[in-house]
Chain A
């Protein structure tokens, strides 16, 4: 098992610099060494690749930089592999061929910062196709209020293929009501290829935080990254800043964070289970699952003041305490909830239409799962035993004992069952933590955040690991990078959907519990393959 020394040696051997600080090993190497070192960390040491971060550091040190973030889940280490790039012509070697999981984040760094990656195809991923060339919004000279001149092309051609049929699935998922667009190429009933287009609704949240907000305000912005697992994001952000600044957070605050995180996991898993049953035409199961879910929503409101977007995280602690009365209320409610859930879910997964359509569909083999760096229940259903709550303990998880369910089948059923088991584990975690809840303050006395520090944090959201990277600046983050788990899971859909029946596509897509962001435009496909875009709502 590689430890700090092994990682440090990687940089030393090649004349790079290194700093080991807390649980994070920072390696700074020459760009030409990025690829071999990343190869070794990912393929030999078996670390998980989480994301890469491009940063415009020209105002600080006249360089661009690229940082690849890995986590070694066995030794609980974060590895930040960084290279400084030329300020005029930032070029880095691509690591996507040895670390396939880095495919999207490199494209994103190209879109947002204009960092060119050698040895791979470069195409638009995040920015819309009509965005002007050479305008990179995360560069510091780009003002967050500026709107580039764009001429909107009104239509675009779908890539029709002669030998196969094309089925556009989207812009809304049939059940999730979120913007997504899949082009499924089918031969008869079988899907032969998939093309995904996303990022229709990129909201520029990172830019907003780096330009306008202060440290405490970003918590509330982070919470709005996702409508379902928002609290994970705000916790992740707060923990990353606290790690960077060395803020001493009271234990009680960390316990409350963990408890609320688990309440959020409960409602998220119950939501997905309901959606899955709905997609399979088992609406009775869906209704009852959501009836049980409503109890968790009331719990959340009682603990935080809001059903969703709880708004109780700050850098340095939390804003709402759990008193004795609430504690006993939560405990009694959980008891009834878990009984109710157990009964309903046992009935639901034994329903023949549910069982047959989940079993053996949408298979993701373990090797593909590792290669693509999938997260959360998707990884655990494919035999990858990773869970940041256990491997990279944060908040108060080290005080709770829980099991991480792992299945090896890799099909839709496995992904559903992982979540079912996690619901029971979450309930047990909440009970344990409430029982051990220490006394004391819930907010750090002093929160000072010096500029130029780096904090990296992974938080296990219901869908998998969120990762936040914060480079502190003057009064606000200088660079804040967020990667949500669906970002890592969508590329795996290509594997899951291929050679499946078309009818199973919606449930397979839903089985990763995807979280596309909100607001959208409508796409109409005419017979001749011309796509018309109807802009809905305010456009610039």
Chain B
């Protein structure tokens, strides 16, 4: 083609390619199967260990603690959809989804709570860790059953007592 007319060639390209704009939201959005969207926490699997909270770069996952409850709060407004929580969850309770249409006019919709009950110490009755965590540890190792129902404080005290007894040369 003559050099001067080269720019006109764009019309050919345009007619070949046709319309590329998708009429979203009336049409399917352009997300591939590999897309990382919001996460979901399966409350029936979660043990409340807090690994996801530690790994979360933007603090979208937070641990709210009280003497009898432990809550994992997921705030999607801070989430960067990196799925680090999905990687680190030891029980695969955190699942990644392809959801990205997360806008809402109610701020509460942006929060998700996973509530855990504390385990009760056999000795002093105070709450520690979570019940699920104790179950998980007990399941993993049968020998831990004896200690697992005691809070860290009581466990410490017991060990010290035992050590003192040994040194006493009974």
Q: Which residues of A are at the interface with B, using a C-beta cutoff of 8 A?
A: 213, 216-217, 219-221, 224, 284-285, 288, 291, 294, 298, 301-306, 309, 311, 319, 343-344, 346-348, 350-352
* Complex contact B13–A344 (CB within 8 A): yes
A217–B61 Cα distance when bound, in Å, is 13
* Complex contact A311–B10 (CB within 8 A): no
Q: Mark B28-53, 1 if CB is under 8 A from A, else 0.
A: 00111011100000000000000000
Given contacts A291-B17, A301-B31, contact A220 B80 (CB under 8 A): yes
Smallest CB separation, A307 vs chain B (Å): 8
Chain A residues, CB < 8 A from B31: 301
* Complex contact B14–A288 (CB within 8 A): yes
Q: Is B71 an interface residue (CB 8 A)?
A: no
Q: Is B7 an interface residue (CB 8 A)?
A: yes
For chain B, residues 48 to 65, give those with C-beta under 8 angstroms from any C-beta of chain A: 55-58
Given contacts A306-B81, A347-B6, A350-B6, contact A301 B32 (CB under 8 A): yes
Given contacts A220-B58, A291-B17, A291-B20, contact A301 B10 (CB under 8 A): no
Q: List 21 A-B contacts (CB under 8 A).
A: A216-B57, A217-B55, A217-B56, A217-B57, A220-B58, A285-B10, A288-B10, A288-B13, A301-B32, A302-B34, A305-B34, A305-B36, A311-B80, A311-B81, A344-B10, A344-B13, A347-B10, A347-B13, A350-B3, A350-B7, A351-B7
* Complex contact B57–A306 (CB within 8 A): no
Smallest CB separation, B81 vs chain A (Å): 7
* Complex contact B83–A305 (CB within 8 A): yes
A298–B22 Cα distance when bound, in Å, is 14
* Complex contact A220–B14 (CB within 8 A): no
A318–B132 Cα distance when bound, in Å, is 32
Smallest CB separation, A360 vs chain B (Å): 20
Chain B residues, CB < 8 A from A224: 80
Q: Which residue of A lies closest to B31 (CB)?
A: A301
Residue from A220, A285, A288, A348 within 8 A of B82 (CB atoms):
A220
* Complex contact A220–B57 (CB within 8 A): yes
* Complex contact B87–A319 (CB within 8 A): yes
Chain A residues, CB < 8 A from B13: 288, 343-344, 347
Chain A residues, CB < 8 A from B58: 220
A288–B10 Cα distance when bound, in Å, is 9
Chain A residues, CB < 8 A from B9: 343, 347
The 6 closest A-B pairs by CB, nearest first: A220-B57, A311-B82, A217-B57, A305-B36, A350-B6, A351-B7
Chain A residues, CB < 8 A from B3: 350
Q: How many residues of B contact A (CB 8 A)?
A: 25
A80–B121 Cα distance when bound, in Å, is 56
A219–B80 Cα distance when bound, in Å, is 12
Chain B residues, CB < 8 A from A221: 57
Chain A residues, CB < 8 A from B35: 301, 305-306
A110–B36 Cα distance when bound, in Å, is 42
A83–B119 Cα distance when bound, in Å, is 55
* Complex contact B30–A298 (CB within 8 A): yes
A382–B55 Cα distance when bound, in Å, is 45
Chain B residues, CB < 8 A from A305: 34-36, 83
A438–B6 Cα distance when bound, in Å, is 44
Apart from A284-B10, A294-B20, A306-B36: 9 A-B pairs, beta carbons within 8 A: A216-B84, A284-B14, A301-B31, A302-B34, A303-B34, A306-B35, A311-B82, A348-B10, A350-B7
Q: Which residue of B lies closest to A344 (CB)?
A: B13
Chain B residues, CB < 8 A from A298: 30, 32
Smallest CB separation, B22 vs chain A (Å): 10
Given contacts A284-B10, A350-B3, contact A301 B34 (CB under 8 A): yes
A303–B57 Cα distance when bound, in Å, is 22
Q: Which residue of B lies closest to A312 (CB)?
A: B82
A221–B56 Cα distance when bound, in Å, is 11
A219–B20 Cα distance when bound, in Å, is 35
Q: Which residue of A lies closest to B3 (CB)?
A: A350
* Complex contact A346–B6 (CB within 8 A): yes
Smallest CB separation, B94 vs chain A (Å): 15
A484–B51 Cα distance when bound, in Å, is 33
A306–B82 Cα distance when bound, in Å, is 9
Chain B residues, CB < 8 A from A219: 57
Chain B residues, CB < 8 A from A306: 35-36, 81
* Complex contact B57–A213 (CB within 8 A): yes
Q: Which residue of B lies closest to A343 (CB)?
A: B13
A221–B31 Cα distance when bound, in Å, is 24
Chain B residues, CB < 8 A from A291: 17, 20
Q: Mark B78-114, 1 if CB is under 8 A from A, else 0.
A: 0011111001000000000000000000000000000
Smallest CB separation, B149 vs chain A (Å): 32
Smallest CB separation, B65 vs chain A (Å): 19
Q: Which residue of B lies closest to A309 (CB)?
A: B80
Chain A residues, CB < 8 A from B7: 347, 350-352
Smallest CB separation, B3 vs chain A (Å): 7
Chain B residues, CB < 8 A from A348: 10
A61–B99 Cα distance when bound, in Å, is 50
Chain B residues, CB < 8 A from A303: 34
Chain A residues, CB < 8 A from B55: 216-217
Smallest CB separation, B10 vs chain A (Å): 5
A291–B30 Cα distance when bound, in Å, is 14
Chain B residues, CB < 8 A from A350: 3, 6-7
A351–B6 Cα distance when bound, in Å, is 8
Q: Which of B10, B14, B55 has the most CB of A within 10 A?
A: B10
Chain A residues, CB < 8 A from B81: 306, 311
A246–B80 Cα distance when bound, in Å, is 29
Smallest CB separation, B16 vs chain A (Å): 10
Residue from B14, B20, B36 within 8 A of A311 (CB atoms):
B36
A319–B88 Cα distance when bound, in Å, is 12
